[in-house]
Every structure is written in C-alpha cells, then in structure tokens.
Amino acid sequence: MFQKGDKVAYPHHGAGIIEAIKEKRVFSEKKKYYVLKFTEGQLMISIPIDNCDELGLRSIINKRQASKVLKVLSDKSKKEIIDYTERFKINSDKLSTGNIHSVAEVLRDLNTGEKISTREKRQFSKAKKILISELVYIYKKTEEEMDKKVDKMLN
C-alpha cells in the first residue's frame, strides 16, 4: 500500500504524487482512494485502492532502472517494418501497460526521422510526456531539462 507523499506512475497520465488517501461513499459503500496529483498542470484523479494494481499504479523506477530506460532510446538496432495500422496498435498496447521500458520503445520506434501520421505524432507526444514526468522525479530536474536529455538520447 502506498502512503501520502509517495511518487507513483499511472499508465495514462505519467508520474505523480499521492496527495491524500480519502474515503468516499460510492453506491452506499465506503471505499478508500488514492488522490494523485500529476506533474503536468493541475490534474488530480482518484484511484480506488482496491483496483490500483489492475489499473497499473506502481512506484516510480530508480536511477539505475532509469539509466537502462534511457539506453533504450539510443538503441538504433534494425526495426522490423510493419504497416501503420499494426504499428499503431502495438504502440497503443505498449503505452497502456504502464511499463516505462515499453513507453521508451514507443518513443524510439516512432523517432525514425521519417514522416509519421498525426495519430502517431500524438502517440509520440504522449509517450514522451509519460517518460519525462517520471524522469523529473528520479533525477530531480525540470521538465525542460529532461526533455532535452530525452531528445539527446533519441538523436
């Protein structure tokens, strides 16, 4: 179980902090919720504690793990050529897992230097936002600094 102040990662929004643990009544049943505040803007969401594992809530990674994730970005190994529809689905599945290594793979694989579709540009932006939000907490840097570091690793 997480505590107030813990830094966590949530698949669809990136990294945030548990601001509170609150009890809410839903359909005459009391449930406990984590209240998460994310690095980007003023976004706050509540996640039922009972379902947090199913929803992919996890602790943020450590520096050693982050170093491995950043190496994924610079791995220029030959990628299998697949069509847009299949590639989009594969990347969507990777983003929804909450696995930060998979998020880094999406960034790397979409950073081909070739033209990509508007939908893939959105995927790229989402993956980058999720990765940077976690790196900000790990390295105690600003979003701008981590954005530059990610760009450097990609190129």
Say whether both 116 and 84 belong to one domain: yes
Task: Output the domain CATH number for residue 46.
Answer: 2.40.10.170
In a domain, 118, yes or no: yes
As a whole number, the mean pLDDT across the chain is 91
Say whether both 97 and 138 belong to one domain: yes
Amino acid 136: pLDDT: 95
Lowest mean pLDDT among 37-41, 54-58, 77-81, 122-126: 77-81
Q: Quote the CA–CA distance of 80 and 130 in Å, as a whole number.
A: 25
* pTM assigned to the model: 0.89
**Backbone torsion region of residue 116, taken as left when φ is above 0, otherwise alpha when ψ lies between -120 and 50, otherwise beta:** beta
In a domain, 1, yes or no: no
Amino acid 76: pLDDT: 76
Amino acid 131: pLDDT: 96
Residue 41 has pLDDT above 70, yes or no: no
Domain tally, the chain: 2
pLDDT tens for each residue of 51-101:
999 999 999 999 999 999 999 998 876 566 678 889 899 999 999 988 999
Say whether both 76 and 144 belong to one domain: yes
Say whether both 74 and 135 belong to one domain: yes
Domain that holds residue 53: 7-59
Say whether both 69 and 122 belong to one domain: yes
pLDDT tens for each residue of 106-120:
999 998 878 888 999
Amino acid 138: pLDDT: 95
Amino acid 114: pLDDT: 81
79 alpha-carbon distance from chain centroid: 22
Say whether both 69 and 54 belong to one domain: no
Report in angstroms the alpha-carbon separations of 120 from 11, 15, 77, 85, 90: 18, 22, 20, 10, 11
Say whether both 119 and 55 belong to one domain: no
Identify the CA nearest to 14 among candidates 41, 38, 48.
Answer: 38
